[in-house]
Amino acid sequence: MDDFSYLKLASRQIDFDNFDDRLLMYVLEYEPSFLTCISCGGCTATCSAGNLTNFNVRKIGLWLRRGETGKLSEEIEKCMFCGKCTLVCPRDINIRNVILLIKKRISMLKTENEKASWKI
Amino acid sequence: MIKNKHVAVIGGGIAGMETASVLSNQGLKVTLIEKQPVTGGKLNDWDQLFPDFSSSETLVTRQNSKTSHSGVNVVYNTEINRIEKINGRFELSDERDVKIFADAVVVASGFRVFDATLKEEYGYGLFGNVITSVDFERQMKKYGKLLTAQGTEPKRVAIIHCVGSRDAKVGNTYCSKVCCITGIKQAIEINQKLPDCEVFCFYMDLRLYGSKFDTLYLTAQKQHKIQFIRGRLSEAAEKPDKSLQIKAEDTLQGRPLRMNVDMIILLVGMEPGPSNSRLIQNNKMALDENGFLKSANIHDARNCTTQEGIFMAGTAICPMPVNETLENARSAATEVIHFFENKKNDGRF
């Protein structure tokens, strides 16, 4: 039978039914100001890393809110923690801390996964 | 008898003039107190009004003649600092200790324009070609068109929305309501006077509420080729030729954007009037969470302060455009008349 893979739309859609909120909940616990982001892009415009690479700090936040955690762990390595994003944010979100919390939580989850695999 | 009652109206802008003339026409004794040597307030600086491009000057002239024809007593060069209730009447005084006594007071002290120098990264006050929407109005009134600090016609202009509004960094988290439509009005005016000039509006959200404003937005897109970019300006820098480089993110493309423009217009927001904190000192008036005068109830007692007998009109309550200010001022007058007729407003207390 022919491969009708073009009919498989699932991968293009954002799946809100299987929402992975493990990163988001952790970030909100320690940086609740993150809730107020309106995606104005001020952070991305001023971002030191974004001027040199295709890093987009606003999208990091958006992916976090949408549970798109897969892309995050690699992208986030581009951040240089200069903190300019935090300086320009009109909602006064500590964006630098948001990035730090994401990194922390990812490494925590990795450790948990490793421990779980040892037990098997 | 209501006709013997004396009402003091603080502030001779359009709100104060409207309330004062309505009350005076109803037979009350009205004193309008203005800090400047002329009435008209901020509108004396504006050129054309949105959304119909009518003349601001004509409106002020109409307000002035209405005020004088209705028999309002206007006191100039007097800034009220203190309102106190003594023996059932209100005593108003300024710093020279000039005293005015009244049975009811309407505060129509207006707003303050956001000081754009506080957003240092935008370069207002540092770079000659960064101006505010208020400067634009003054320029249009004086020269009839927009010119750079070098006196040349700009080829490219960026209009920046939400300057001093919706910005926790300057302490104002509210929306000033009138800036989006002001930006669109000014963009159209630039295109009308300088057809070769490109105009870009940088916005976070476009708030063109109601039946008229969105129509003007459509007109700006269709007839004037105004471009709208969804992204907040992060910084502006001056180049040796005095043009400006601006940085924002084009959030719809998801990429940082850089652009050279000849001029930047900052759409500055409306802040609480500077006298608010003094006016509430010796009575039961209060400020709301944004520093504007607090209404007893924002639904059916919008013009009532938290002090019985003191009312308010216009932008002392919150940011609002000219037409809403005039409606609001008339509603304040109704509230004063009901107060004298002992018709209780249940929403009040």
What per-residue confidence (pLDDT) applies to A51? 86
Fold agreement between B2-110+273-340 and B116-270: yes
Give B248-306 pLDDT, tens digit per residue: 999 999 999 999 999 999 999 999 999 999 999 999 999 999 999 999 999 999 999 99
Beta strands (DSSP E) in chain B are: 6-10, 29-33, 48-49, 54-55, 73-75, 80-86, 89-94, 99-102, 104-107, 111-113, 130-132, 156-163, 198-203, 227-230, 235-238, 244-250, 255-261, 263-268, 270-272, 310-312
Structure token pair of residue B104: 């009811």
What per-residue confidence (pLDDT) applies to A68? 84
C-alpha to C-alpha distance for B46 and B139, rounded to whole angstroms:
10
What per-residue confidence (pLDDT) applies to B1? 67
Q: Inter-chain contact B232–A90, Cβ cutoff 8 Å?
A: yes
What per-residue confidence (pLDDT) applies to B296? 95
Minimum-distance CB partner of A44 among B167, B169, B249? B249
What per-residue confidence (pLDDT) applies to B233? 97
CATH number for the domain whose boundaries are A20-119: 1.10.1060.10
Q: Inter-chain contact B232–A41, Cβ cutoff 8 Å?
A: yes
What per-residue confidence (pLDDT) applies to A1? 53
Of B225, B230, B240, B236, the C-alpha closest to B263 is B236
What per-residue confidence (pLDDT) applies to A6? 60
- Cβ neighbours around B346 below 10 Å, total: 8
Q: Inter-chain contact A41–B247, Cβ cutoff 8 Å?
A: no
List, in sequence order, every residue forming a beta bridge with B263; answer none if it has no partner: B157
B142-173 as b/e: b if 16+ CB within 10 A: eeeebebeeeeebebbbbbbbbbbbbebbebe
What per-residue confidence (pLDDT) applies to A14? 75
What per-residue confidence (pLDDT) applies to A18? 79
CB pairs under 8 A between A and B: 65
Structure token pair of residue A17: 């039914």
Task: Report chain A's terminal Cα–Cα distance, integer Å.
Answer: 39
DSSP B238-297: E-TTS-EEEEEEETTTTEEEEEEESEEEEEE-EEE-TTHHHHTTTSS--B-TTSSBPPSB
Domain boundaries defined on chain A: 20-119
The CATH superfamily of B2-110+273-340 is FAD/NAD(P)-binding domain (3.50.50.60)
What per-residue confidence (pLDDT) applies to B346? 65
Report chain A residues touching chain B, CB-CB < 8 A: 38-47, 50-51, 56, 58-59, 88-92
CA distance B207 to chain A (A): 14
Domain boundaries defined on chain B: 2-110+273-340, 116-270
Q: Among all residues of chain B, which has the CA nearest to that of A43?
A: B234
Q: Among all residues of chain A, which has the CA nearest to that of B119?
A: A88
What per-residue confidence (pLDDT) applies to A4? 62
List, in sequence order, every residue forming a beta bridge with B266; answer none if it has no partner: B132, B160
pLDDT in single tens digits along all 349 residues of chain B: 678 899 999 999 999 999 999 999 999 999 999 999 999 999 999 999 999 999 999 999 999 999 999 999 999 999 999 999 999 999 999 999 889 999 999 999 999 999 999 999 999 999 999 999 999 999 999 999 999 999 999 999 999 999 999 999 999 999 999 999 999 999 999 999 999 999 999 999 999 999 899 999 999 999 999 999 999 999 999 999 999 999 999 999 999 999 999 999 999 999 999 999 999 999 999 999 999 999 999 999 999 999 999 999 999 999 999 999 999 999 999 999 999 998 766 666 5
Give B9-37 pLDDT, tens digit per residue: 999 999 999 999 999 999 999 999 999 99
| CATH classification for the domain delimited by B116-270, as one of 3.40.50.2000, 3.50.50.60, 3.40.47.10, 3.40.630.30 | 3.50.50.60
What per-residue confidence (pLDDT) applies to A13? 74
Q: Among all residues of chain A, which has the CA nearest to that of B169?
A: A90
C-alpha to C-alpha distance for B143 and B39, rounded to whole angstroms:
24
Q: Inter-chain contact B257–A45, Cβ cutoff 8 Å?
A: yes
What per-residue confidence (pLDDT) applies to A7? 59
Q: Inter-chain contact A45–B168, Cβ cutoff 8 Å?
A: no
Q: Among all residues of chain B, which has the CA nearest to that of A55?
A: B255
Contacts (Cβ under 8 Å, ≥6 apart) of B152 = B262
Sign of CA pseudo-dihedral B238, B244, B249, B254: negative
Residue B222: in which H helix or E strand, if any? Answer: helix B210-222
Residue ranges of chain A with pLDDT lower than 70?
Answer: 1-11, 119-120
Q: Which residue has the tokens 């006050």?
A: B125
Residue B150 φ/ψ, nearest 5 degrees: -90, 0
Q: Report yes or no: B164 and B272 within 8 Å, Cβ to Cβ.
A: no
DSSP B89-113: EEEEEETT--EEEESEEEE---EEE
Residue B321: in which H helix or E strand, if any? Answer: none
What per-residue confidence (pLDDT) applies to B164? 97
Residue A99: in which H helix or E strand, if any? Answer: helix A95-119
Residue A103 φ/ψ, nearest 5 degrees: -60, -45
Structure token pair of residue B16: 């104060």
